[in-house]
Chains A and B, each alone.
Chain A
Amino acid sequence: MARGNNEILANLEQIVGPEYVSNEEADLQPYTWDMTWAEPRMPDYVVMPKTVTEIQRVLRLANHRKIPVVPYCNGTNIGGLCVPEEGGIIMDLKKMDRILKIDPETCYAVIEPGVSHAAFSAALKATNPQWKGEEFSKGFEFGWGVHPPSASVLAMAINHGIGHLNGRLGINSQLMSSMEVVLPTGEVAKIGSCAYSDSWHSFLPLPRMDGLFTGWLGTTGIVTKLGVWIFPIRPYRDVLTVAAASAEDITKYMVRWRHYSLCDEVTAVSWWLAQIPIVFPYSPKPADAPEFFSYTVISGWSEEELAYKRKMWQEVVAKEKAKGTKLIDFEYPPEAKKGRTELPSRIVGSTKNYSKSCGGGIAWPGTFAPCKSWPILYEKWKEIYIRHGLSPATRFTDYQGAHYGMLRCMTPFNKRDPASVQAARDAMVECVRAGLPEGMLPYKPPVEYQNELNAVADAGYLYLMTKIKDMLDPNNIMNPGKLGIR
């Protein structure tokens, strides 16, 4: 069964070639849904461009005919971001999968949207940091997150994805250095140093126009090339773990520890998230079990450096214990430790949590929040989740020092049971509502969260956002419906 119309199909075929476009429902159906509770919606066409010129031509056609365009790489964003709210064209960018440059001296790489984490990590590991041929160490790394290996590096970065270097370097969008973008009206623009030369090393000191395409959920244009900073792999790495009796206790420890900026990552997970699979539906934890478990990853260039960091961490734990913070000695299981040190591992084991035990559904209210709000929000979220029959499977992760961190609650649900889907959706939306006054902001937000955000947003902010959207995308063709403003 075909959708759309034959004239548009013929135009698209002319642009990308017949084998790279389809309007058959059998081809369209995988693009209708994702892991989350997003209601499936059918696009009318899928196209797979191979060049920037093809993207320009597709966008010009779509803009002229006012057809929605949804950029798509792997569709694993946990926000329903690629589910086409209003049908139209899915622009599947997988064929644009070239790593265009790895500069081992200036330490950046230039990638296309279809470059997977798997391919990128393999290429980086095979490249050594150097200066004019003199190699300093072995291999580079980027921020490896929790995702399947096929996930797009570019899509993750421009949507504020997180990686294993968060604590040291910030989230992946903070590691971007230059970009090329095709505007909804078909023009191509380079942003950052690449606008002036073939060096893709920095957005600064120029105006940060990359912000027009970062965190906009594919609603302002299509990023076709991205420069990202890459980092030499430190040969020494260790994982240090401690548990705590409460969210308050674990937060105190994390805040003190990250004050020194000595770790690559510090994360805490609630007892329910530490279970494999996550307890579904909710049941209480054993009374004597810690409420939170935390790990921190330290890395270094020598055993001495690692030993110093270990010593500092032990001092932090000792000081907190002396103050009365209820920290509990706890050793991470070896397998879990391996998963944090041998990066990038296939850290999608977490998807196991959302399969047999529940019914295939997975989502979470993922947010950036000031760390001091973690314990407050945890207690609120816990009450909400338990009321909806869900476990408060919560995670805190620090992002680059004291400024902000991640707060999220992993939420399995049964896709076959409408009541289960509704409970998950209601709990998550309620959590977002509860968190906004505490400074919490959802990342990669599904439409439901966006509506909550817009309801309390500064009017001037929404005005400006709408004005920018209208300027860049006058016919509102880019992923319409996702921002809740058009």
Chain B
Amino acid sequence: MSHLLRNKELKELGKIYDWVSMCTHCGNCKYGYEYGPKANFAAMLCVQGDKFNFDSYRGSRGKVSLARSLLHNRIGWSDKVAHVLFTCTSCGACQQMCETDIKPWILRMFETLRYEAWKQNVAIPENIKAWSSTIGTLYNPYKEPHEKRLDWLPSDVRSSLPNKAEYIYFAGCTASYRRKQIARATVSLLQKLKVDFTVVEDEWCCASPLLRTGQYDLAAKFVEHNKALPEKYGASAFITTCSGCYRTLGRDYTMDAPEGYADKYGKMTGVKVLHTTHLLEEMLNKGEIEFTGSFDKKVTYHDPCHLGRHAEVYETPRNVLKAVPGLQLVEMYRNRKFSYCCGAGGGVRGGFADYSLETAGKRVKEAEATGAELVTSACPFCYTNLADAIELNKSPLKMEDIVEIIEPIVKRK
């Protein structure tokens, strides 16, 4: 009987075999769809299936089927298996559409498959292997020296920050090394709003790229290290502009499987995790923010998968944008839970840059179709991919993070 667990060596995958078996193979995951009283939403959401066509790449059904085929010893590991696994951006669109009991386990299953792949002699993307080889000592996936992590922070600002504070601003690797203007704008914004925060020099990568690419063993020390930061700095909360960090700190550090990895690394307790937009929305609601200018542009918002589908934060960033004087918010056809991934996540930007940018190019075209002048998002990693695609495609669009829009035109009431 071919549906029986035969491969006992895939221990991590074997642990969730019962959940893998819950997939009915119905294919609901392959397409985005929702009834509406006037019009239905219908669109392809799986960026991987969009690019690589075959059912193996399309939605979660193909990957569940792959897991089962491996567990049943019906196929062996190969470079092609690795390609199927590592070209998924973990955007969660298939999970969003799934209606069976496997639903909450889908992303965990993808990551577990990748964990198993690392133990096989298969073609893990070279760029992922490259950053993986140094992240253990540099604490970031960009192969940058750790001691330069805070180079984005002007020295006078750095010296003005307290040693201990209520919030730790967790800039994340992308804002620290690649999109420094987002980190600088965030610090300036928090200062303008008189938030009690600090920035810490011993921030390490949150471990998002490690967890998303199945590098469980390597991730352990990162989680352990970062979890200790609030106590060390007397903080009760992390605040971050990065959706990847938000998902990892807020879910992987604090929730058991399948939502997080607390079952594996222990639970972070007593620490709040906020995205910057959460704080902004809260202060706007309390009337604590005064706008000193306007932003007279038509803007479209791209939902980062880690903030949107992974953490179900859809309205908060929109509420913040809607509060900005002059800003006209327009939606892309695929938005919120039906958003289309920018193509960067799940290690894809590092592993398959061309495909990643091609995906971002599709999203840029969709943004252009709204008539917006500017795309905004709430994630430096989405920012990077979309901004690069804008440049590559010579799009007239501009790209700014939400904090970059807000920072110049606010003050604390």
List, in ascending order, chain A residues with CB within 8 A of B30's CB.
74, 148, 150
Task: Report the minimal beta-carbon distance from B117 to chain A, rounded to whole angstroms.
Answer: 11
A30 on the interface (CB 8 Å rule)?
A: yes
Task: Report the minimal beta-carbon distance from A446 to chain B, rounded to whole angstroms.
Answer: 15
Query: What is the size category of the interface that chain B forms with chain A?
Result: 35 or more
Interface contact A74-B27, CB-CB below 8 Å: yes
**A26: contacting residue among B34, B81, B100, CB under 8 A:** B81
List, in ascending order, chain B residues with CB within 8 A of A32's CB.
65, 69, 74
**A352: contacting residue among B4, B32, B100, CB under 8 A:** B100
> With A and B bound together, what is the CA distance between A391 and B396 in angstroms?
61
> With A and B bound together, what is the CA distance between A203 and B375 in angstroms?
51
Interface contact A40-B2, CB-CB below 8 Å: yes
A19 on the interface (CB 8 Å rule)?
A: yes
Interface string of A29-65 (1 = CB under 8 A from B): 1111111000110100010100000000000000000
A94 on the interface (CB 8 Å rule)?
A: yes
Task: Report the minimal beta-carbon distance from B54 to chain A, rounded to whole angstroms.
Answer: 5
List, in ascending order, chain A residues with CB within 8 A of B61's CB.
30
Interface contact B2-A149, CB-CB below 8 Å: no
Interface contact A26-B28, CB-CB below 8 Å: no
Q: Which residue of B lies closest to A138 (CB)?
A: B38
List, in ascending order, chain A residues with CB within 8 A of B65's CB.
29-30, 32-33
Task: Given A29-B75, A360-B24, verify A149-B101 contact (CB < 8 Å).
Answer: no
Interface contact A126-B31, CB-CB below 8 Å: no
Task: Report the minimal beta-carbon distance from A266 to chain B, rounded to whole angstroms.
Answer: 22
Interface contact B56-A30, CB-CB below 8 Å: yes
List, in ascending order, chain B residues with CB within 8 A of A28's CB.
56
Q: Which residue of A lies closest to B57 (CB)?
A: A27
List, in ascending order, chain B residues with CB within 8 A of A355's CB.
22-24, 100-102
Interface contact A46-B54, CB-CB below 8 Å: yes
Q: Which residue of B lies closest to A422 (CB)?
A: B1
Interface contact A360-B22, CB-CB below 8 Å: yes
Task: Given A1-B75, A40-B74, A122-B41, verify A346-B28 contact (CB < 8 Å).
Answer: yes
List, in ascending order, chain A residues with CB within 8 A of B3's CB.
415-416, 418, 421
Interface string of A70-103 (1 = CB under 8 A from B): 0000111000000000000000101100000000
List, in ascending order, chain B residues with CB within 8 A of A94's CB.
53
Task: Report the minimal beta-carbon distance from B48 to chain A, rounded to whole angstroms.
Answer: 13
List, in ascending order, chain B residues with CB within 8 A of A95's CB.
53
> With A and B bound together, what is the CA distance between A479 and B68 in angstroms?
25
Interface contact B35-A351, CB-CB below 8 Å: no
List, in ascending order, chain A residues with CB within 8 A of B373's CB.
none
Q: Which residue of B lies closest to A94 (CB)?
A: B53
Interface contact A29-B76, CB-CB below 8 Å: no
Task: Given A116-B31, A118-B42, verify A416-B53 contact (CB < 8 Å).
Answer: no
B228 on the interface (CB 8 Å rule)?
A: no
Task: Report the minimal beta-carbon distance from B352 to chain A, rounded to whole angstroms.
Answer: 14
A345 on the interface (CB 8 Å rule)?
A: yes
Interface contact B56-A75, CB-CB below 8 Å: no
> With A and B bound together, what is the CA distance between A384 and B24 in angstroms?
24
Task: Report the minimal beta-carbon distance from A346 to chain B, rounded to whole angstroms.
Answer: 6
Task: Report the minimal beta-carbon distance from A277 to chain B, rounded to whole angstroms.
Answer: 9
**A27: contacting residue among B28, B32, B56, CB under 8 A:** B56
Task: Report the minimal beta-carbon distance from B183 to chain A, rounded to whole angstroms.
Answer: 40
A151 on the interface (CB 8 Å rule)?
A: yes
List, in ascending order, chain A residues with CB within 8 A of B155's CB.
none
A354 on the interface (CB 8 Å rule)?
A: yes
B269 on the interface (CB 8 Å rule)?
A: no
Interface string of B23-63 (1 = CB under 8 A from A): 11111101111110111111000000000111110000110
List, in ascending order, chain B residues with CB within 8 A of A76's CB.
25-27
A191 on the interface (CB 8 Å rule)?
A: no
> With A and B bound together, what is the CA distance between A26 and B4 in angstroms?
19
Interface contact A1-B78, CB-CB below 8 Å: yes
**B78: contacting residue among A24, A150, A343, A421, CB under 8 A:** A24
Interface string of A108-120 (1 = CB under 8 A from B): 0000000010110
Q: Which residue of A lies closest to B69 (CB)?
A: A29
**B28: contacting residue among A1, A48, A150, A354, CB under 8 A:** A150
Interface string of B215-235 (1 = CB under 8 A from A): 000000000000000000000
> With A and B bound together, what is the CA distance between A118 and B27 in angstroms?
13
Interface contact B99-A360, CB-CB below 8 Å: no
Interface contact B2-A39, CB-CB below 8 Å: yes
Interface contact B40-A122, CB-CB below 8 Å: yes
**A35: contacting residue among B24, B42, B53, CB under 8 A:** B24
List, in ascending order, chain A residues with CB within 8 A of B33's CB.
118, 149-150, 346
Q: Which residue of B lies closest to A415 (CB)?
A: B3
B319 on the interface (CB 8 Å rule)?
A: no
Interface string of A1-24 (1 = CB under 8 A from B): 100000000000000000110101
List, in ascending order, chain B residues with CB within 8 A of A344's CB.
35, 40
**A34: contacting residue among B25, B35, B62, B74, CB under 8 A:** B25
A359 on the interface (CB 8 Å rule)?
A: yes
Interface string of A447-465 (1 = CB under 8 A from B): 0000000000000000000
Interface contact B35-A346, CB-CB below 8 Å: yes
A349 on the interface (CB 8 Å rule)?
A: yes
**A416: contacting residue among B21, B34, B37, CB under 8 A:** B21
> With A and B bound together, what is the CA distance between A40 and B1 in angstroms?
9
A-B contact pairs, 28 of them (CB 8 A): A1-B76, A22-B80, A26-B75, A26-B80, A28-B56, A29-B65, A29-B75, A30-B54, A30-B61, A33-B65, A35-B25, A48-B54, A92-B54, A118-B33, A119-B42, A122-B39, A148-B27, A150-B28, A150-B30, A151-B27, A344-B35, A352-B99, A352-B100, A356-B22, A360-B21, A418-B1, A418-B3, A421-B3
Q: Which 8 interchain pairs have the tightest Cβ spacing?
A: A149-B33, A356-B101, A118-B33, A118-B42, A122-B42, A30-B55, A26-B80, A355-B100
Give residues in B with beta carbon < 8 Å to A. 1-5, 21-28, 30-35, 37-42, 52-56, 61-62, 65-66, 69, 74-76, 78, 80-81, 83-84, 99-102
Give residues in A with beta carbon < 8 Å to B. 1, 19-20, 22, 24-35, 39-40, 42, 46, 48, 74-76, 92, 94-95, 116, 118-119, 121-122, 125-126, 148-151, 342-346, 348-349, 351-352, 354-356, 359-362, 415-416, 418, 421
Instruction: Known pairs A32-B69, A150-B27, A352-B99; list 8 more (Cβ under 8 Å).
Output: A19-B52, A20-B53, A26-B80, A31-B55, A122-B42, A344-B35, A360-B21, A416-B21
